[in-house]
Amino acid sequence: MKAPQIPVNEAERMNALRESGLLEIDNYPAFDRLTRLATRFFRVPLAMITLVDDHAAIVKSADGRALASQPRDLSFCGHTILGDAPLVVSDTLLDERFADNPQVAGDPGVRFYAGFPLRLRDGACVGSLCLIDYAPREFTAADAAVLADLSALAEDEFAAVSAATTDELTGLFNRRGFNQFAQFALSVSQRRAEPLTLGWLDLDHFKTINDRFGHQEGDKALKAMAALMRSSFREADLLVRFGGDEFAVLFADTDEPGAWIAMQYLVEQTEKYNARQLHPWSLQFSWGLSEFDHHRNDIQAWLKHADAQMYAMKRQHHGEK
């Protein structure tokens, strides 16, 4: 088995993937339509849309008996993103890159793979639309043309997600929205000589909720956190789901002590929510604050400081890393 090489532009590729918002979305219907079309047209038992981050090939949609997200070193799609043309493996047992791959040796073992590299509008290759069969098969030029057409539709959806500034699940601003509006908010606060404070939140034990109760309950927890933020903070505050279980709030015209009071109010409202809700889990979060220093900070340093403050609380209160 040969692990896929790392692209020479890996740092730029990963930055584009993180900024795209694609890593944060789940249950995206347009992706599911494309994988359903692929399994029916090609008559394969499995079609997937995957993203390749720095550690894993992450399955974003699958029609058929889905493979779990795989370590990047073991993934077929890690090889696919290295080229411009589709990667076609008619018989994995005859290809030294994959013959002893655990996905080939498993039951059922992957015997056929065809993957088309998926790119963002800036050209960064971030994933693949792939077909899998458990028996060897041929893949014609006509098949390749159809897979390219489906992949173009997937890339259109990538562009739509990347252009969006709101998180589909919670309705809050997403990472892209934050990046756009944070710079504007900083400019306004500097012109007006007003303070601007960033609050950084991370749900505690969120992985446990997903593992014990399923991703639907995890989604409910994320929606509940977003709803509590909306009801607890002012309309002038910018509310963000930054990704995964991370949230942020920009407190306009508010210094750090004022933001601390606002965060304490959110803690109180969350405790009241937990006391009355009927879910098998409770909402808990760690948080940190950072007031922007117009003389020393840039946005990245600001984010890093708020994140460090949040993790200090997480370690102190919950023993989490």
pLDDT tens readout for residues 279-292: 999 999 999 999 99
Say which CATH topology domain 10-163 has. Beta-Lactamase (3.30.450)
Taking only Cα atoms into account, the Rg of the chain, rounded to an integer number of angstroms, comes to 22
pLDDT tens readout for residues 59-73: 999 998 767 788 999
Identify the pLDDT of residue 138: 95
Identify the pLDDT of residue 162: 84
Mean pLDDT of the region 152-172: 90
Among 108, 105, 130, which Cα is nearest to 117's?
A: 130
CA distances in angstroms from 61 to 14, 49, 191, 289, listed in the order given? 20, 5, 46, 36
**pLDDT at position 321 over 70:** no
Q: Which residue has the tokens 């076609």?
A: 88
Mean pLDDT of the region 184-192: 82
Identify the pLDDT of residue 164: 84
- pLDDT-derived band at 224 (thresholds 50, 70, 90) equals very high
- pLDDT-derived band at 306 (thresholds 50, 70, 90) equals very high
How much is the mean pLDDT over the chain? 92
Identify the pLDDT of residue 318: 64
Same fold, 10-163 and 175-318: no
Q: What is the edge-to-edge ordering of all strands in the sheet holding 112-119?
A: 70-71, 56-64, 46-52, 125-133, 112-119, 87-89
**pLDDT at position 163 over 70:** yes
Mean pLDDT of the region 33-45: 94
Identify the pLDDT of residue 177: 87
Q: Dihedral of CA 125/129/134/139: which sign?
A: negative
How far is the C-alpha of 172 from the C-alpha of 88, rounded, in Å?
Answer: 40
Which class in CATH covers the domain with range 175-318?
A: alpha beta
Identify the pLDDT of residue 1: 81
Segments making up each domain of the chain, as ranges: 10-163, 175-318
How far is the C-alpha of 129 from the C-alpha of 168, rounded, in Å?
Answer: 22
Strand 56-64 versus strand 196-203 pairing type: unpaired
Mean pLDDT of the region 209-238: 93
Partners of 52 in the β-ladder: 57
Among 320, 321, 263, which Cα is nearest to 291's?
A: 263
Please give the single-letter amino acid code of residue 5: Q
DSSP 22: G
Strand 112-119 versus strand 125-133 pairing type: antiparallel
